[in-house]
Chain A
Amino acid sequence: MKAGAAAQALEARLELRVGRGARAFALEAELSLERGVLVLFGPSGAGKSLTLRALAGLVRPERGFVRVGGESLFDAATGADAPPHRRGIGWVPQRDSLFPFCSAAENVAFGLPRARRRQRDPQVRALLEELGIAALADARPASLSGGERQRVALARALATGPRLLLLDEPFASIDRAGRGELWRLLRAALDRHRAPAVFVTHDADEALALADRVVRYERGRSVESGPPERILADAYPVSLDAEGWEPDGGALALRGARLVTPGAPPSPGRLHLALRRPPPRAGGSDDA
């Protein structure tokens, strides 16, 4: 259960507007995350990325506050506003964020103190191993695939031991097959480093695969938040509740199973339900 009286990983309330005239955009968001991964879910242009920028300190809200691990990084009421480079918040953008003039290992080591910014730093090596890119340590970003680049970007963000990680649709340009593997890697890495994260996506599968908690965005507002099953119910209308299960050959025998569907119930008779392989979810807590 909860480890002691740990502070919330993230608490924030943000009110801000950007742009002028017809291009003005107003954001109003409330976020809280005890631990794990908070997914900001919603269509593009709903203000999710802007929320991340405000958390990182790249844009300044007019009202509200940002507290990470109990520490206040921004508070409009007191005027407190830590600059981005002092927030200890990791940042993984959507694409093209690797320093092109550095090798993969140098990218990972980029945020470390000068003395440790060597390729052979044990922690850098460990991170490269952990994310399955040790063989690419000396490669230049331009020669890496999209998925490899995002692994490097993730390792780089984790290397400095951030107290919060912000990921802005980091896998949006990766094909579906590759994304499942990246979800698993990300979940495992976050759990191992105990790094809480805020992850932006408009993809319900991705949200379900990664989230401990979901905030749904609509036109610049965070409209509801809660556990993924509830917030993503629109995307996953059919669900199966079972009291328990036993292995039955290659199948599962369910006890007290109940199929929840919207609309008309299936006609009586034999029922065959085909499910797509669930989004991989490694390391996540499985307590119901």
Chain B
Amino acid sequence: MSGDPLFPIALSLRVAALAVALVGPPGIALAWLQARRRYPGRALVDALVLLPLVLPPTVVGYLLVVYFGRHGPIGRALDALFGARVVFTPAAAVVASAIVALPLLVKTAQPAIEAVPSELEEVGRSLGLGPTALFARVTLPAAWQGVIAALVLAFARAIGEFGATLMFAGNIPGRTNTMPLELYAAWQAGEEGRALLYAGVLSGVSLAVVLLAPRLAPRAQAFLERPRS
């Protein structure tokens, strides 16, 4: 059951990185939408974004299995289009991690985008920037600290994902056994050394994140006004 003890570490890093890559663009877009637009149903979108934060991860995992499973609407579509199966694959671990990372990502990036003075965007428009160029050349560079912090926190949440991953990706050695799953398995099997290894790596990553994130987020405003010596 054990296999290469380094495999779960590499897998977890890869899964978390891919999860952030998957959820990053839509998450930042959602953060912008919630920060800058007032539209009907905005409160509902807010609630849906927050839902994975509040739902037990096992419920998230269950819902993912239902939707991505062989009889689920998304699972059927993926099967028909690409002949691809998601459940119990590393891709499932990526999707599960991405979903649970979404709330943290959006809710950290949103205040950073809100803090970008509207004057900057208005001036950008007056200088001929359309919506896309405005976001890329004004909003994002002005909010970059908060956005990076959001991505870092999303990475940390993704790498620690347990419940939803277990339900949706399983714990298949050499395939979907990410660090948190492997930690649980090692502890159950009484393999103290392996448990300690994964606990140590995960703690190290978390410590790095909590040290780094507050230095970045959500102080875009303060950054803009800070005098430079």
Contacts and interface: CB of A to CB of B under 8 A. Distances in A.
A221 interface: no
A178 interface: no
Contact of B128 (A94, A111, A166): A111
Interface string B106-127: 0000000000010110111111
Interface string A128-150: 00000000000010110000000
Contact of B120 (A58, A87, A99, A160): A99
B127 A96 contact: no
Contacts of A157: 126-127
A91 interface: yes
A91 B226 contact: no
A91 B144 CA distance: 24
A84 B122 CA distance: 8
A199 interface: no
Interface residues of B, number: 24
B83 to A, nearest CB: 43
Interface residues of A, number: 31
B227 interface: yes
Given A97-B119, A99-B120, A84 B125 contact: yes
Contacts of A93: 119, 122-123
Contacts of B214: none
B26 to A, nearest CB: 24
A51 to B, nearest CB: 15
Given A142-B226, A142-B227, A143-B228, A97 B120 contact: yes
A156 B138 CA distance: 15
Interface string A60-96: 0000000000000000000000011111111101111
B129 interface: yes
B127 A160 contact: yes
B145 to A, nearest CB: 10
B18 interface: no
A101 B134 CA distance: 14
A166 B122 CA distance: 12
Contacts of B127: 85, 110-111, 156-157, 160
Interface string B169-189: 000000000000000000000
A58 B224 contact: no
Main secondary structure of the interface of A (DSSP, over half): loop
Contacts, number: 75
B36 to A, nearest CB: 13
B138 A99 contact: yes
Given A96-B117, A96-B224, A91 B126 contact: yes
B87 interface: no
A100 interface: yes
Nearest to B117: A96
A210 interface: no
Nearest to A166: B126
Interface in B73-120: 117, 119-120
B126 A85 contact: yes
A91 B124 CA distance: 9
A89 B144 CA distance: 28
A108 to B, nearest CB: 10
B221 to A, nearest CB: 10
Contact of A99 (B125, B126, B130, B141): B141
Nearest to B134: A85
Nearest to B127: A111
A94 B119 CA distance: 9
Given A100-B223, A143-B227, A89 B142 contact: no
A56 interface: yes
A102 B18 CA distance: 31
A115 B109 CA distance: 32
Contacts of B126: 56, 84-85, 87, 89-91, 111, 157, 162, 166
22 contacts: A56-B125, A58-B122, A85-B129, A85-B130, A86-B128, A87-B126, A88-B128, A91-B123, A94-B119, A96-B117, A96-B225, A97-B117, A97-B122, A99-B120, A99-B138, A99-B142, A100-B224, A101-B142, A111-B128, A157-B126, A160-B127, A166-B126
Interface of B: 117, 119-120, 122-130, 134, 137-138, 141-142, 144, 223-228
Given A101-B142, A156-B127, A160-B128, 6 more contacts: A56-B125, A83-B125, A91-B122, A94-B119, A96-B225, A157-B126
